[in-house]
Structure 1
Amino acid sequence: MSEPPPRAFSYEAPDRLFIPAPSRNPHLNAAAADADFHCLDFADMNPRSGSVIDDWLLRAYDGGRLLLSYGFLEYEELAVYDPIARTADLVCRPDIMQFDFEFVAVHYALLVDEADASFRVVGAQFWNGRVRAAIFSSRTGQWAPLPFLRAPEAWRMRGGMRAGRFAYWQSNTRLERYIYSEEIERFLVLDTTTMEWTLIQVPFHEKESYCVADMAEHGGLCLVASKDQVVQIWVRDNDGGWVIKKQISLLKQFGLLKRLRHDEWMKSVRILAVRDGCVYMEFWSIRKPNSHLLVLNWETMKLSVIANDTDDKYRGPAFPFFMTWAPPLLSPAEQQRLRLEGDRFERNDNTYVSK
Structure 2
Amino acid sequence: MEPCEGTVGGATKKPKPSPAPPIAALGDDFLGEILLRLPDMASLASAALACKQWHRVASDPAVFRRFDALRRPPLVGFLLTDRGDMPSPYRSPNLFFVHATRNPNLAAAAADGDFFFEDLPAVDSDDEEEGYDWDEWRLRGCDGGRLLLSRGRDGLDLAVYDPISRTAVFLRPDGVFRACTHVVRYAIVVDEADGSFLVIGFDFRGAVFSSRSGKWVKINMERVKLEKGDVTYEHEIFDKIHSFSSDGMAAGRFAYWRSNTKKDRHFNPVERIMVLDTTTMEWSVITAPFPAGESYCVADMPEHGGLCLFSSKEQCLQLWVRNSVGGWVLKKDFSLLNEWMKKIRRAEWMKRVRVLAARAGYVYMEFWSIRKANSYFLVLNMRTMKMSVFPNNPEDPHRGPAFPFFMRLEPLLGPDEDQNVHLDV
* Match among 64, 70, 79 for residue 159 of structure 2: 79
Matched residue type, 2:334: I
* Match among 170, 176, 180 for residue 258 of structure 2: 170
User: In 2, distance between residues paired with 1:3 and 1:47?
Assistant: 22
Cα offsets for 1:263-301 (capped at 9, x unmatched): 111011000000110000000013221100000010111
User: In 1, distance between residues paired with 2:149 and 2:302?
Assistant: 31
Structure 1's 183 and 50: CA in aligned 2 closer, same or farther, altered over 3 A? farther
Q: Say whether the 8 Å CA contact 1:2–1:270 is kept in structure 2.
A: no
Cα offsets for 1:105-125 (capped at 9, x unmatched): 111110112333221100112
Residue 344 of structure 2 is aligned to residue 260 of structure 1:
yes
By relative contact order (CA 8 Å, sep 6+), the higher-ranking structure is 2
Residue 125 of structure 2 is aligned to residue 49 of structure 1:
yes
2:243 aligned partner: 156
Structure 1's 4 and 184: CA in aligned 2 closer, same or farther, altered over 3 A? farther
Matched residue type, 1:50: D
Listed as ranges, the matches of 1:280-299 within 5 Å are 280-299=364-383
2:109 aligned partner: 31
* Match among 144, 150, 163 for residue 69 of structure 1: 150
User: In 2, distance between residues paired with 1:240 and 1:271?
Assistant: 23
The higher radius of gyration belongs to 2
Matched residue type, 1:120: L
Give the TM-score normalised by the residue count of structure 1: 0.82
3-state DSSP of counterpart to 1:41: coil
Q: Say whether the 8 Å CA contact 1:23–1:29 is kept in structure 2.
A: yes
Residue 324 of structure 2 is aligned to residue 238 of structure 1:
yes
Matched residue type, 1:217: E
User: In 2, distance between residues paired with 1:296 and 1:278?
Assistant: 5
* Match among 349, 352, 361 for residue 277 of structure 1: 361
Matched residue type, 2:209: F
Structure 1's 164 and 327: CA in aligned 2 closer, same or farther, altered over 3 A? closer
2:191 aligned partner: 113
1:188 aligned partner: 274
User: In 1, distance between residues paired with 2:90 and 2:388?
Assistant: 29
Cα offsets for 1:223-247 (capped at 9, x unmatched): 1000011100001112221110012
3-state DSSP of counterpart to 1:117: coil
Structure 1's 285 and 170: CA in aligned 2 closer, same or farther, altered over 3 A? same
Give the number of aligned pairs: 320
1:315 aligned partner: 398
Quote the RMSD (CA, aligned, Å): 2.7
Q: Which moved more, 1:228-237 or 1:318-327?
A: 318-327
1:95 aligned partner: 175
User: In 2, distance between residues paired with 1:279 and 1:246?
Assistant: 13
User: In 2, distance between residues paired with 1:9 and 1:222?
Assistant: 33
User: In 2, distance between residues paired with 1:7 and 1:101?
Assistant: 10
User: In 2, distance between residues paired with 1:70 and 1:50?
Assistant: 13
* Match among 201, 224, 236 for residue 123 of structure 1: 201
**1:322 Cα offset (Å):** 1.0
Matched residue type, 2:188: L
Unmatched runs of 5 consecutive residues or more in structure 1: 339-345, 350-355
Cα offsets for 1:206-226 (capped at 9, x unmatched): 010001111111111111000
Give the TM-score normalised by the residue count of structure 2: 0.69
Q: Say whether the 8 Å CA contact 2:310–2:317 is kept in structure 1.
A: yes
Q: Say whether the 8 Å CA contact 2:253–2:300 is kept in structure 1.
A: yes
Matched residue type, 2:141: A
